[in-house]
Amino acid sequence: MSELRWNPLLGEWVATATDRQERTFLPPADFCPLCPTKPGGFPTEVPEPSYDIVVFENRFPSLRSDPPPPAVEGTELYPVRPGQGVCEVILYSPNHTTTLAAEPVEQIYKLVQVWTDRFLELGALPFVEYVFEFENKGEAIGVTLHHPHGQIYAYPFTPPRVARELEQARAHERKTGRCLLCDVVAEEKRDGRRVVVENESFVAYVPFFARYPYEVHVTSSRHLQALADMDGEEQRDLAEILKAVLVAFDRLFDISFPYMMVLHQRPSDGDNYDFYHFHIEFYPPLRTATKLKYLAGSETGAGMFINDTLAEEKAAELRSKVLPVVWGGEGGAA
Amino acid sequence: MKDEGPTKQASVGEMHKRRTTLVDGRYLIYYTFDDEGGELAAKDEAASKRAPDAEPVAEDERRV
């Protein structure tokens, strides 16, 4: 059962997807459904014995291209609509034990190209308004499969957090005549204390307003709205700065660092979003090597985040862990 | 951050995609790059020459 129920208190949709209760939960490595199907082995989601990058429809989707009718009838107060959309899984590598941070920068560049292709293909579907690409990494985030992978949700509406960003960006542009994120990038570069790493096309920084101790935003220096607007050099620079950030995360506590990584691009509904600006946000749940930043009463009930740290100090910690990125190397940074 | 070793341009070649349908009806797309894609294209071309009038199957490959 999958449907969208309207929350009139917040003015936003909630997806109910009861089938997801049955999804695979932390299987042993020998029975990973995201590994290639080995000759004579049990059949996984990928029938072939190897692959480079694979995308497939999620077996337990929150949204479907041909959704069933809602389980309940809506009312004027409580509208209900079918859970129409697409949920995909992206497998980064056939190697069960790798992570995006451990992959060569070339593999991350390939992923950037696949993200771009999925953004364009899913965004062209008539019922899709927003393509949301993301990764949940680590049990601390709640992943149910350890095999390195990301996800894509193609929503039939623009999700509330992105919609709020769009409102803020539009208001700033009307007030100042400038792009909000262009101003943020300029301010971060001018100040410098919160910058983690930068290259010719991107800057990675702990934002002035960070909600999580090690929150990092990666923003394009050029004013553009989506991966599809980038030229080849910018896509390579994006892969390079992602590699640098991911390696710095892992070196911070010498662990495979958990995080949520989300791509914020323009909606795909055909309207003009020239005022918007592409960026990627990382939300790591750790505040120390062993302590989690919990989303408790204030964060969850009031939407008011309390960060126990200074962005300037956390950025300095991360900056000290950045290594040069090597193209043609064996996986890691130099 | 500084580049070392081979140039970025030479590091990853053209992307190819091959779409298949799983037994339960879901789609799955293999993305390949560089020589992998070339080998894939050559394999499909050979198959096409062997059976020019064959019915289309539930697989599609296109260069992007």
pLDDT tens string A188-227? 999 999 999 999 999 999 999 999 999 999 999 999 999 9
Q: Take residue A255 and report the two structure tokens written for it.
A: 């662990």
Q: Take residue A153 and report the two structure tokens written for it.
A: 């949700």
In eight-state DSSP terms, residue A156 is S
Could you identify the residue written with the tokens 């062209």? A124
pLDDT at A294: 87
Evaluate if residue A295 carries a pLDDT over 80: yes
Sort strands A202-205 and B27-33 into parallel, antiparallel or unpaired.
unpaired
Q: Measuring CA to CA, which residue among A52, A92, A104 is closest to residue B11?
A: A104
Q: Residues A104, A166: contact at Cβ < 8 Å? A: no
pLDDT at A281: 98
Task: Work out the minimum CA distance from A275 to partner chain B, whole angstroms.
Answer: 28
pLDDT at B62: 38
Q: Residues A201, A209: contact at Cβ < 8 Å? A: no
Q: Take residue A211 and report the two structure tokens written for it.
A: 């909600």
Interface test with B, best of A110, A195, A233 (most B CBs within 10 A): A110
In eight-state DSSP terms, residue A18 is G
Query: Is any Cβ of chain B less than 8 angstroms from the Cβ of A91?
Result: no
pLDDT at A192: 98
Dist CA A269 CA A291 (whole Å): 41
Q: How far does Cα A13 stand from its chain's mean position?
A: 20
List the catalytic residues of A: 149
Asked if the Cβ–Cβ distance from B15 to A117 is below 8 Å, we say: yes
Please name the residue of chain B whose CA is at the shortest distance from the CA of residue A46. Answer: B28
pLDDT at A76: 98
Query: Is any Cβ of chain B less than 8 angstroms from the Cβ of A126?
Result: no
Mean pLDDT across A123-143: 95
Please name the residue of chain A whose CA is at the shortest distance from the CA of residue B31. Answer: A53
Please enumerate in sequence order all residues whose Cβ is within 8 A of that of A292, keeping only pairs 6 or more positions apart, or say none: A140, A285, A286
Please enumerate in sequence order all residues whose Cβ is within 8 A of that of A88, keeping only pairs 6 or more positions apart, or say none: A55, A56, A57, A58, A118, A122, A151, A152, A154
pLDDT at B56: 32
By CB neighbour count within 10 A (0-12 exposed, 13-18 middle, 19+ buried), where does A142 fall?
A: exposed
pLDDT at B8: 56
Query: Is any Cβ of chain A less than 8 angstroms from the Cβ of B28?
Result: yes
Residues in chain B, pLDDT under 70:
1-11, 35-64
The A residues from 19 to 78 touching B (CB cutoff 8 Å) are: 45-48, 51-57, 59
Please name the residue of chain B whose CA is at the shortest distance from the CA of residue A323. Answer: B1
pLDDT at A331: 65
Confidence tier at A143 by pLDDT (50, 70, 90): confident
> How many CA atoms lie less than 13 Å away from A267 in the CB half-sphere?
23
Q: How far is CA A238 from CA A30, A34, A92, A202, A272, in A?
A: 34, 26, 16, 7, 24
Asked if the Cβ–Cβ distance from A47 to B8 is below 8 Å, we say: no
Dist CA A162 CA A226 (whole Å): 13
Length, in residues, of chain B: 64
Of A45, A54, A110, the CB nearest to B29: A54
> How many CA atoms lie less than 13 Å away from B1 in the CB half-sphere?
29
Please enumerate in sequence order all residues whose Cβ is within 8 A of that of A328, keeping only pairs 6 or more positions apart, or say none: A106, B5, B6, B11
Asked if the Cβ–Cβ distance from B1 to A232 is below 8 Å, we say: no
- Range of weakest confidence among A25-29, A102-106, A254-258: A25-29
Of B4, B24, B27, the CB nearest to A324: B4
Asked if the Cβ–Cβ distance from A53 to B2 is below 8 Å, we say: no
Helix then strand then coil, % of chain A, to nearest 5: 30, 20, 50
**Terminal-to-terminal C-alpha distance of chain A:** 49
Dist CA A240 CA A106 (whole Å): 9
| ipTM value greater than 0.90 | yes
Q: How far is CA A272 from CA A71, A125, A199, A282, A301, in A?
A: 36, 18, 29, 26, 34
